[in-house]
Structure 1
Amino acid sequence: MDGKTLKLAKMDAPLAIRWSRTLPKAAKVTTVTVSKDTAGRYFVSLLCDDTVSPKPETANKVGIDLGLTHFAILSTGEKIAAPNTFRKNEAKLAKLQRRLAKKQKGSANRRKAKLKVARLHTRITDARKDFLHTLSTRLVNENQVIAVETLAVSNLQKNRCLSKSISDASWSEFVRQLAYKAKWCGRMLVGIDRGYPSSKRCSACGHTVAKMPLSVREWVCPECGSLHDRDVNAARNVLTAGLAGLVCTENVSPVLL
């Protein structure tokens, strides 16, 4: 490997590669692995010895409330739309799977139909991964402290009406990416206890209402009269609880620290 081309053993010409990123100059390649996915695509993975330098500290802090209509609502008031990668391709995927089911087992047409299904699955997966990596990298680069609410995703998926959308959102993968990227860059990721009433508590005065149905998207605090957007208010409470937890370890999940 000369930095631009890669030639494996017993090959006369270098591989036709489209590089996903530029290798660091100081990185030393120790292992090269060639793999093939179900869609027929070949990948070359290079294992390198390299170090990641922490990023310069910043004063920015953010709280994140995860949802379905909007994937993430930030304490700054920004709402990031959910990509819904599976939902957007669900009808096409069902059509391809019906065609596959009608093909004779062992036939060439069945192999072709199976490949089309696999390619659509990989397109959905790649689009979801790109969204999660882009968002997680941006949040880690911009903020010194990131507070998120820990969710029992496996329990939430037991809801038959929402299980497919919850799986499509990939909240667990998003938090996993935030965790290791924050560790690399010298940031701090704080997990808020799942029992914390982030939606029911007023971010202005701290008053907590008794009930807050999911149908309520805006509400007025009966104590101070503040008008709240449900999700933005929850994100602000998550940030407040995260900052407080860093001081006194209250309402902080040890899993993400």
Structure 2
Amino acid sequence: MKHRAYKFRFYPTDEQIKLLAQTFGCVRFVYNTILRWRTDEYYQSKAKIGYIQANARLTWLKKQPEFAFLNDVSSVALQQALRHQQTAFKNFFEGRAKYPTFKKKTHKQSSEFTKSAFKYTDGKIYIAKSKTPLNVCWSRQLPSKPSTITISKDCAGRYFVSCLCEFENQILPKSDTVVGIDVGVKHLFVASSGLKIDNPRLTAKYAIKLTKAQKALSRKKLGSANRAKARLKVARIHAKICDCRLDNLHKLSRKLINENQVICVESLRVKNMIKNPRLAKHIADCAWGAFLTQLEYKADWAGRTLVKIDQFFPSSKRCCNCGFTLPFLSLDTRHWDCPECKTTHDRDINAAKNILTAGLAGLAFGENVSLV
């Protein structure tokens, strides 16, 4: 049994909108207040505070008359916010993330509810402090009762509920097909078979519309109602771009998983690559990290093998025919001739073939590749 989150959109009533706004505000207040307190305590007395001390501080806050509003929402959502903060600190101390930052009112809002704070019966979800069920647009049936739900509101004003459920993953029939893929900017990826998938370039597609909306936003007075409306228009355009991008990546990753038993890819340090000011916007628009993440968990569910090649492997500069490696290959060179075997190579297809060869060698002989 594996766990999977199923995300659905829902349309809250006026009463639920008020309750959720209050819950989001209390979660944000508790998170920011405890974060400020933990930071100050460390700098003043070098005290290391964990979840137990933070939870005790929350209990103390709820007893203060000026913070009595914290008792009007579910206590589970407040406690889960502290657990998330503890996870953020753990990731920071282990070098996987930066220091936790304060939550903002204009950013995405979310709160998590465990079994004691919600009820799921007959396909309806009830949350604490609300007597009416959520008006969820069910696009599929849940495989089991959710263990936790996360209610979120994005910057475009849309409400979503994410249900964490157990499900039986189906192992796909074995296939004899293997593929190596090389991601890029002009083409989203190129397969070793010669297949080239174009990059939809969604940011450029909506650039004019986004520019007009951002220009209108910049002219609105700070704190005004018109500025809030203009900000919402900008957020909706960004949400449209994000939804289109994820939809395309999910379709492509599912097709690769269904058709191939082994998928070989190159591990990339996307965070380092977007430091290039000339290519940062184009690289971010490709969403390579999200694409590789989708391949990883879908391969695990379907019984496929995903092989990650070392990022320093010279896939583009090495001849897939004879193995000769060029000392230098500029980024604008899309075709090159091998000095040894005189073979003319398409840069991307040659790289995909080399990635496939290195990935299969790693599976057979245990070379320096990362296996997932």
Between the aligned partners of 2:134 and 2:272, the Cα distance in structure 1 is 46
The match for 2:265 among 148, 154, 160 is 148
SS in 2 for 1:28: coil
SS in 2 for 1:29: coil
Between the aligned partners of 1:94 and 1:212, the Cα distance in structure 2 is 36
Alignment of 1:72-91 (within 5 A): 72-91=189-208
Between the aligned partners of 2:325 and 2:149, the Cα distance in structure 1 is 56
Structure 2 regions of 5+ residues with no counterpart? 1-120
Between the aligned partners of 1:148 and 1:250, the Cα distance in structure 2 is 15
The structure 1 segments of at least 4 consecutive aligned residues displaced by more than 4 Å after TM superposition are: none
SS in 1 for 2:165: strand
Quick one: higher RCO (CA 8 Å, sep 6+), 1 or 2? Answer: 1
Between the aligned partners of 1:210 and 1:216, the Cα distance in structure 2 is 14
TM-score by length of 2: 0.63
- 1:148 Cα deviation after fit: 0.6
Alignment of 1:3-82 (within 5 A): 3=123, 6=124, 8=126, 10-11=131-132, 16-24=135-143, 27-82=144-199
TM-score by length of 1: 0.90
Report the residue type matching 1:128 in the other structure.
R
Q: Is 2:237 aligned against 1:237?
A: no
SS in 1 for 2:207: helix
Alignment of 1:109-124 (within 5 A): 109-124=226-241
After superposition, what is the alpha-carbon deviation per residue over 1:208-255, rounded to whole angstroms, capped at 9, x for unaligned? 222222222112222222221110011011000100011222241x3x
Match of 1:159 in 2: 276
Between the aligned partners of 2:140 and 2:322, the Cα distance in structure 1 is 48
Q: CA RMSD in A?
A: 1.8
The match for 1:133 among 242, 250, 258 is 250
Alpha-carbon spacing, 1:217–1:143, altered in 2? closer, same or farther (3 Å): same
After superposition, what is the alpha-carbon deviation per residue over 1:152-186, rounded to whole angstroms, capped at 9, x for unaligned? 22222121110111111111111111111111111
Between the aligned partners of 1:123 and 1:149, the Cα distance in structure 2 is 29
- 1:29 Cα deviation after fit: 3.1
Question: Which of 157-166 and 217-226 deviates more?
Answer: 217-226
Between the aligned partners of 2:367 and 2:204, the Cα distance in structure 1 is 38
- Say which structure is richer in helix: 2
Between the aligned partners of 1:157 and 1:7, the Cα distance in structure 2 is 41
Structure 1 regions of 5+ residues with no counterpart? none
Alignment of 1:93-242 (within 5 A): 93-242=210-359
SS in 1 for 2:227: helix
After superposition, what is the alpha-carbon deviation per residue over 1:111-153, rounded to whole angstroms, capped at 9, x for unaligned? 1111101111111111111111111111111111111111222
Report the residue type matching 2:335 in the other structure.
E
- 1:7 Cα deviation after fit: 5.4
Instruction: Give the share of equivalent positions with the same residue, in percent.
Output: 53
Question: Which of 147-156 and 30-39 deviates more?
Answer: 30-39
Between the aligned partners of 2:289 and 2:186, the Cα distance in structure 1 is 17
After superposition, what is the alpha-carbon deviation per residue over 1:84-104, rounded to whole angstroms, capped at 9, x for unaligned? 122222232122112111112
After superposition, what is the alpha-carbon deviation per residue over 1:45-99, rounded to whole angstroms, capped at 9, x for unaligned? 2222222122111111110101000010000100001121222222321221121
Count of residue pairs brought into register by the alignment: 249
